[in-house]
Structures are given as C-alpha cells and as structure tokens.
Structure 1
Amino acid sequence: MGDLSLKTIKFINAQLLGRKRPTIEVVAEDQTALESSPVSMTFLSTETTEEREQVLADCQDLYESLKNTEVTLLKEFHKKYLDYPFNNALPKQMKALDASQPWILYWIACSLRLMDKTWLGEPVQRKIYAKIFAASLEKGPFCGGMGQDPHLVCTYAAINSLALCDSVDDCWSQINRQAIYDWLLSLKCSNSGFKTGVAVGECDSRSTYCALSVAKMLNILTTELCEGVEGFLLGCQTYEGGFGACPQEDEAHGGYTFCATAGLSILNSLHKCNILRLAEWCSARQTAEEKGFSGRSNKLVDGCYSYWVGAVNSLLEIHGYGSFIDKGALQEYILKCCQSSERPGLRDKPGKSPDYYHTTYVLMGFSLTEHLLEVTKQTEPISVKSTTNGFQLEPVNPVFGLPAEDVTKFIDFMSQLPQVC
C-alpha cells in the first residue's frame, strides 16, 4: 500500500467516518503467515473486522459447547418475556419507543401467535385493539401513540396487530377503511412512492411497501393507488442485486430488499426484477462461519435478517425460482446463537440483549426454515399454506410478516365488506 493510499485512509478515518482510533495496516512477512491470518484481517484491521472476529469467536464457542446437545426453541421460557408487558409497566428506557406503540403490540402478539396460537387469548386481544384504536383519530389511519400524527409505518403495524385479534368484539369491521384509503392517496408522491406522513416524512421502499400491504390487507388496493408503484420499486434494485431505499440512490440492504420484493409480490411483479442477481445477493448474505445473515455487504451477522433476507428467499421459492440459502445452518444460528437458556427472549447475536423486535423476526425467520410454502391461488401468489408436518412454529406468510392463517382470515373478512372509492 502506497503512502498516498494510507494518507487517504487516515483522512477518511479522522474526518469522514469519525473513528476513535486509526486503521491498522497488517503486513505479512511471508505467504504462510498471510494464509494463516483471518480472512477479514488479511490486509487491514478496522473496528468492523475486529468486531466480526469477536462475533465469529463467540459463535464458534457456542457451536462447540452445544455440538452434542439437541437444542430446541424454549417456547415456554420465551413466553414469560412476551407476557410481561401486558401486566407490568415497561422500563423507563423504553420511552424512546413512545411513537412505536403499535409496533410493540405487533411484535409481542405475533411472537405469541407463532409459538402457540392459543397463547393470544381474548383478554389480551381486547387490550390490543383498544390500544390501537386509541392511537387514531377515527379508527384509522393510525398513530404511533395517543395525540400523535398518523404515520404510515405505524398504520402498517396497527393493521398487522388487529389482524391477530380474530375480530374479537367485531373489531375488524370498525376499521375506517375509507379514511385510510383517502389518506393513502394523500401520501402518494410524484415519483409514485408513498411518504410516511402528510406534513413530513420519508418516501422510500419501506413506506411504499407499508402502503401496499395495508391496502391489500384491507381490500382497498385500487388501480389509482398502484399506478406507477411498480416502476418505483423496480428502480430501487441496485447493481448488487438487492434493493435500496430509493431508486438509483442507495446500497442494497436486507430490510429494504424485503420491502421491495414483498411490495412487488403484492403487485404480481416480482418476476420483472433481476431475479438472478437478487438470488445471488441473498445467498451472499449468509456466512459459512456464523451461519446467519448480515443485512449488507461487509456487515455483521444479525438475527433479524433471518426474516428480512429469509422472507425474500421464501418469496423466490414460492414463485418457483428455488431456494438459495442453507436453512439448516440458519436454524443452528438461531437456536444456538440467538437464544440463551439464561435469559428469555431472542437476540441479535451472542453478547447482545434480547428485545421484542429481534424476538419476532428471529422467530419468523425460523418458521420460514421449517415450512415449505405453496400458493393457494395461482392468480395471487401472496396467499400461501404450509405443506410441512412436524414443526415448532406456525407457518408465516412472507409477504405480510404474519402467521399465514391469520392473513387468510383477515383478508377473507375484508373481501366481504363493501368496496371503497
């Protein structure tokens, strides 16, 4: 490495990336020493490579210690963690999630339902729909909490939460579909994407997916709402094969890739993207050593991408393109590295604390490794059922991030209601 390159790295380090310590150049004296160095640290040592080596060591320790142990999901153990917020006040540090109340309800309810559909009883379902309706002006659209402005991403979480309530007390028919439809139209941007709020909000593949999901779930997905959306989402695919937040602007990311591919599936347009590059990108997110997924190139493994990337693989599988991941290895990462017998709930990776977000998406990712899904309506590939027997979790619909049975019941109910205009 020349002096100029080293100076450039030091400048980026100090002025652009804000690292607290400089990059360390690693020089091997001979080929043998070079080959014996960890792959990620052959040439440069950075904070990311050092963190990756630590994660890799933690994972290998767990794999070694549990190699002769049959590990299963500790469902009853995790249930204690999920039941807690329905009977106790959440800790003060969770005030940061005050604008994400529908998300917390969705994460907890979905996790309970996935592990045992009887664990989400009517008393809890009543608490959920009452809380959701309290966070809205007219029972739709929905806000992150009482007294806040309606927000598209929170509306998505609210609808998913309500879909888990079995229409207890006829709560499904109380959703103001017309108001939500009119609001969705007001969020549509000139580039055919959707922004998250009327007054202010980002317009990207995530918010656009949320609009399509809400509309499809509520049976209000009209031609006017969909016009131009396909082109917006297709434009988010990058040279890597995955999708970014906005057309021609961002790097491929696991979360945005899920949003774009799920949105295209709702539009029956997934086949119009570069399938081969997408499959290659998904496959490259799984590391042979840790066995889980990362969300971007050169990033650390994270349990939540078990769903974000795993669901994309499932969508490709459902559409007949095959699977491009090692499901057995992913199961091993989840059971041995995202789960601990010492503390309930599921986590990002070894060394991290469990939380409701990761608990949900790790569980859904695990479910997708257990079930082979098939289309139940050839004209609508978002309607799926499992063909698998003997599983630990309920099957997930990879388009909506909900148990497949709940999606079917909710959409069937909404299809019986009068059309909105």
Structure 2
Amino acid sequence: MFPCDNSDLSLAKKQHIKYFQRFLNILPARLISYDSTRLTMAFFAISGLDILNALDVLDDKKKEHIIDWIYRLQVVPDGSHSSLKRCGFQGSSTLIFTRGESDCSTVYECGHLAMTYTGLASLVILGDNLSRVNRAAIIEGVKALQQEDGSFCATLAGSESDMRFVYCAACICYILHDWSAMDVKKTVNYITRSMSYDYGIALAPELESHGGTTFCAVATLALMNQLNTCFTNKQVN
C-alpha cells in the first residue's frame, strides 16, 4: 500500500463555495433536463454553503432574491376545497402560469413533497420567518399524499411512494410544527415493516435495505420521537 498524504485529502473549501455560488446563479447547460427539480438543487447549494459556514458570501439582497424566488414556487389554493390537495411547492418556475392564461395552469400547478421540504428548509437556512408560507394549505397537501400503507407519494400528479417521501413529509410536519398531515401510526408501521434481515431499512417492505433509506427512516422516527418506541435496543444498536 502507498503512504497516504493527508494534505491531499483536505477539503477544497474555496472551490466548493464557488461551485455552490455558481449553481445559485445559473445551472450548467448539461443539467437542463433537471429543471423541474431546480429547487432541490438550490437547497443543496444553500445547505452546502451553510455547512461550510459560508452563507455570508450571499449578501442580504441575494438572500432576499432567493427567498422571493422560492415563494414564487408556492402553490396556493384557488378557493375550492379540492385545490388544497395540490398545495405545496413546485420545483421550478418553468410551469408557472397566470390562472386563466393557459389551459395548463391547473394541470401542472401541483406541489411536490421533495420540493416542499427543500423549499421550506432553504427558507429556514436563509433566515426567513416563514410568514408567507400557507401552512394550512401545505398541511392539506401533505395529508392528501399519504397512502393506505403509511407511505407517501411525491405528488398528486403520480409518482412512486416510498421511504424518501416519508422522510420529506416528516420534515415538513416538523418544520411547520404540525403533525396533523400524517397518520403517525401508519407511518411507523410502514417503517418497521421495511426493516430487513440485516437491520437496515429499505425503500419499502420486502425490498433490499440501503444506507440512504435507512437514514430516511431513522431520521423520520427521530423527528416523530418514535425511534425508541418501535424498535428493540438490538435493532437500534
């Protein structure tokens, strides 16, 4: 084996900061197919700067600009009860239409769990007080996405339902201090049934466990204060 030079393993902090700043200004052309998830990419850049203690590279005007952009992505109710189920945050401004101007406005105007979570988290990191968040509408939107087995779909438009979105739903409830959007008992049951023989947790029951989905499940239980109530000490340890 070759000797390890620790100097080669140091984090290139300045380069990382520039990289995250670039993503907050303009996406590389090669990522055009990911436009619908632009909010999540913004979250990774914002949280990356936060982890590096470098949020100060964003001046107040830039932070305000990002916060306003995030709020533009919020899907609000149109007055009908059914529209509440579509509320949350979208991932991009590409499919935002002024109501009445396009037949597409009601078809594509739909919240997404991952975008709602990353949008709220980004606002919190940037120091926003969430005063412009339509909390009641978002809670109704999350509630509409829980499935009978306790899992969550990402959007009413149709998607997978698995542990990733269970975690997103839990984060939203935690940030808004409102768990009425989730049937906690069903969610806990879904998580415990997804534990594999190796004590890892899968995307769904009877699937292979994975580190990422294990994190999602454990974090969800921790946010709900249920981690030590549904697993034995052996399973937790």
Query: Is the aligned partner of 1:143 residue 2:90?
Result: yes
Note if contact 1:243-1:260 (Cα within 8 Å) is conserved in structure 2: yes
Determine the structure 2 residue equivalent to 1:36: none
Query: Is the aligned partner of 1:127 residue 2:65?
Result: yes
Matches of residues 262-411 of structure 1 in structure 2 within 5 Å?
A: 262-271=219-228, 272-277=230-235, 279=237
Note if contact 2:24-2:45 (Cα within 8 Å) is conserved in structure 1: no
Unaligned runs of 5+ in 2: 78-86, 96-107
The CA distance in 2 between the partners of 1:276 and 1:153, in whole Å, is 32
Note if contact 1:236-1:246 (Cα within 8 Å) is conserved in structure 2: yes
Between 264-273 and 179-188, the greater mean CA deviation after superposition: 264-273
The CA distance in 1 between the partners of 2:45 and 2:24, in whole Å, is 10
Query: Is the aligned partner of 1:108 residue 2:45?
Result: yes
Query: Is the aligned partner of 1:220 residue 2:187?
Result: no
* AA aligned opposite 2:156: V
Structure 2 counterpart of 1:74, from 12, 19, 22: 12
How much is the aligned-residue C-alpha RMSD, in angstroms? 2.3
* AA aligned opposite 1:98: D
Determine the structure 2 residue equivalent to 1:8: none
Unaligned runs of 5+ in 1: 1-59, 280-421
Change (3 A) 1:278 1:241: farther
Matches of residues 22-171 of structure 1 in structure 2 within 5 Å?
A: 64=3, 66-67=5-6, 69=7, 72-87=10-25, 89-116=26-53, 117-138=55-76, 141-146=88-93, 147=95, 148=108, 149-167=110-128
Change (3 A) 1:151 1:224: closer
Residues 338-365 of structure 1, C-alpha deviations (whole Å, 9 max, x = no match): xxxxxxxxxxxxxxxxxxxxxxxxxxxx
Note if contact 1:242-1:277 (Cα within 8 Å) is conserved in structure 2: no
Figure out how many residues of one structure are paired with residues of the other and give that number.
212
Note if contact 1:112-1:120 (Cα within 8 Å) is conserved in structure 2: no
Note if contact 1:113-1:119 (Cα within 8 Å) is conserved in structure 2: no
Determine the structure 2 residue equivalent to 1:252: 209
Structure 1 counterpart of 2:158, from 188, 191, 200: 200
Q: 1:278 offset after TM fit, Å?
A: 5.3
How many percent identity over aligned positions?
25
Q: Indicate the structure (1 or 2) with the bigger Cα radius of gyration.
A: 1
Between 267-276 and 206-215, the greater mean CA deviation after superposition: 267-276
The CA distance in 2 between the partners of 1:65 and 1:246, in whole Å, is 40
* AA aligned opposite 1:144: G
- Return the TM-score normalized by structure 2: 0.80
* AA aligned opposite 2:179: L
Residues 223-276 of structure 1, C-alpha deviations (whole Å, 9 max, x = no match): 8642421111111111111100112x2101111101110111122121222553
Change (3 A) 1:266 1:66: same
The CA distance in 1 between the partners of 2:136 and 2:170, in whole Å, is 15
Determine the structure 2 residue equivalent to 1:358: none
The CA distance in 2 between the partners of 1:162 and 1:187, in whole Å, is 23
The CA distance in 1 between the partners of 2:174 and 2:198, in whole Å, is 29
SS at match of 1:258: helix
